[in-house]
Chains A and B, each alone.
Chain A
Amino acid sequence: LKNFIMRKVKTEQAIAVFLAFTAFAAGCYQFAVAAKNTISLTKRKVWVNRHLDAISRGADAAYGEEFKDFISFLRSEIPDDATVVLLRTTDLTPYRSKWFMQYFLFPRKITLCEKGDVESCVVMRKGPGVYFVDAGGFNPTAQTIEGLTALHFNESLRIFNPEP
């Protein structure tokens, strides 16, 4: 049998078949991993959010349900032509980035407060059509928020609207 095999199967042929099979097996394994991730993401983020708009689906996929709901809250409370000021009193990335919020709150104009001097930033910028987003860590004096109305989304997230 051994002689028969040695005659019939050249080493190189065996290597070629082995490598081709290895490539096939590797492709199948990678496929299984991709399929598993797809099914998981589809169940958690695509199917449950199928009734939502693109912004809300993206917000949920990026930072979860609370972020998605807060973005919906901001979009419903702040008019399209308003200016939104991010106070940046928190370390949470999505509430600190002008560019990130530009997408989720489009077409509203987004600006930032300089680090460390939030009180004077609010005093200087408040006015008609200017909304402040506080994602926690901002404890203003009554004088600072004079002329603004606080609207709470939850314990840590709120906006300051200009009084009509």
Chain B
Amino acid sequence: MSPSLNVLTTLLIDILLLMALFALGLLIVRTIFRRSDWLALLNLSMGIGAGVLTWVLFIVSWAGIVLNLQSLIGVYSALIVVFLYLSKRSGKKTSNGHSDNDTVEHSSISSMLLVNTTRTVWVLVISLIISSVLLSWGLSYHSWDGIAIWAVKGYGIASEGSIFGAINWGMVGLTFPLNIPLQVAIFRIVDGDVLPGSKLLFPAYFVFLLVGCYRFWLKRRLNILLAALGVLLISSTPLLFTHASIGYTNLPLTFYLISGLLWLIEGLDEEALNKVALGGLLLALAVWTRPEGLVLWVAIVIGVTLGMYVVGRRFSLITYILLPCLVIAVPWFLLMNQHYTPLDEYEASWRAIRGIARGEIYWEALYRILRHLGGQVFRFRDYGFLLAISTLLFCAGFKLKRVCTDLVRTILLISTVMMGLAVVGILYVFAYPPFGIHEVITRLGSDFNRVFMPPALSFTSLAFITFSDFIKRS
């Protein structure tokens, strides 16, 4: 077979593999939320399909079954059969329901100018998505974490046929969750990841994140042009666009957290149990994606609880948020505890907790972090104009009374603040000895901006609906 034909065959296999993950996710989403609209399916299917499959593979491998093509096909087929059956059952129960499409209202735009502007915006967004796919595939794995953690762990797992391959291959042993390494391992097992097909996962998460924000804005009755502008602003933000192609897992984490938060809010607002369950599942998969996922999960749960309290609504659906996290995270933490590799992050956290208990506060570190955060609003390099524009839109439409009475805005605002505080906390813990202020400054330059992605996007989601209020008022 000629090399170009080989490439085409592998590309076809990779696309089929992505479609298979999408199909599994589609069945799971249809099982939980029968009346989902096509934007919801596009937003959720691949992330949920890939996350659930990797978690089951993790359990299967822990049980001693070798991870190879046969076991992969077996597990995938079993999941398809189970969710096909459950999906049919849930279909019978809700067969008289109508599609969720009915509730997505598109504001009418009469002016041709607006229609053409909207089309232009979509052309720009699609160009960015194509560029991210091209760069992701063309540059292969070329950045530190992508190479030294995520890709090599996936290859190690595939080569040894076990999740314990992650102990010897790649940094940090078994201390980082295995969602992304197992997704990479699936590509390695199926076609050797020669393109590498696993790099297509990252632009895919980028697209599904954009779809999630767009759908949320449409559901909040934003003008289509304004929602499209929001998508353009997010997709062209330098840090986010770069992360769609470098193989770091901050973007997949942001996808799980933001999609989970938005679905949770929608479910709580409509008192729809299935949407809350979907939100809970996505947030649990965030814990299964990166170590700081758990900290941000706690921040969101606090944000949601406080938000419900502020608007005076009873929060009886907490089980649907806690249960998926317990099911997914507990086995992982049990395994991690057995094969614990000492990490600076964990040591710093314990030292900080002990220091705070003694009343030691490092004000200079806090000042430096907050000054850096404030600087991001005006500095183009990482967040472009995203934070500046979001701040302007938020300030224009902000009404305290509305925020205190409307559940969506309240939860989004409090969750954004809680996630922001959590990110500040993740960095602040390094202020304590033996690390100190120099470690904080180093990490401000290397880690802070990418860890700040979830609160930044949560704030943008809020800013656009606040601005939409302003437009409606004026």
Contacts and interface: CB of A to CB of B under 8 A. Distances in A.
Contact of B169 (A58, A62, A102): A102
B144 A100 contact: yes
Contact of A29 (B141, B142, B195, B385): B385
Interface in A22-57: 22-24, 26-31, 33-35, 38, 41-42, 45-47, 49-51, 53-55, 57
A102 B152 contact: yes
B171 A42 contact: no
Interface in B386-400: 386, 388-389, 392-393, 396
Nearest to B141: A58
Nearest to A41: B135
Contact of B238 (A16, A34, A41): A34
A145 B193 CA distance: 38
A61 interface: yes
Which of the four size classes fits the interface of chain A? 35 or more
B140 A61 contact: yes
A26 B142 contact: no
Contact of A46 (B134, B155, B170, B473): B134
A148 B466 CA distance: 70
Contacts of B121: 24, 27
Interface in B80-135: 117, 121, 124, 127-128, 131, 134-135
Contact of B233 (A30, A61, A104): A30
Main secondary structure of the interface of A (DSSP, over half): helix
B9 to A, nearest CB: 15
Given A27-B236, A58-B140, A61-B140, A103 B393 contact: no
Interface stretch (A7-15, A113-121, A125-133, A151-159): A7-15
Interface residues of B, number: 54
Chain B interface, DSSP helix/strand/loop, else mixed: helix
B147 A35 contact: no
B376 interface: no
User: Which among B237, B385, B388 has the greatest number of chain A C-beta atoms within 10 A?
Assistant: B385
B151 interface: yes
Given A26-B384, A28-B124, A99 B392 contact: no
Contacts of A29: 384-385
Contacts of B233: 23, 26-27, 30
B172 to A, nearest CB: 9
Contacts of A59: 142
A-B interface, 6 closest residue pairs, ranked by CB to CB distance from nearest = A46-B138, A12-B474, A61-B142, A30-B236, A58-B140, A26-B385
17 contacts: A10-B474, A12-B473, A24-B232, A26-B388, A33-B236, A41-B139, A54-B194, A54-B195, A58-B139, A61-B140, A62-B142, A62-B143, A99-B147, A100-B144, A100-B147, A102-B152, A104-B147
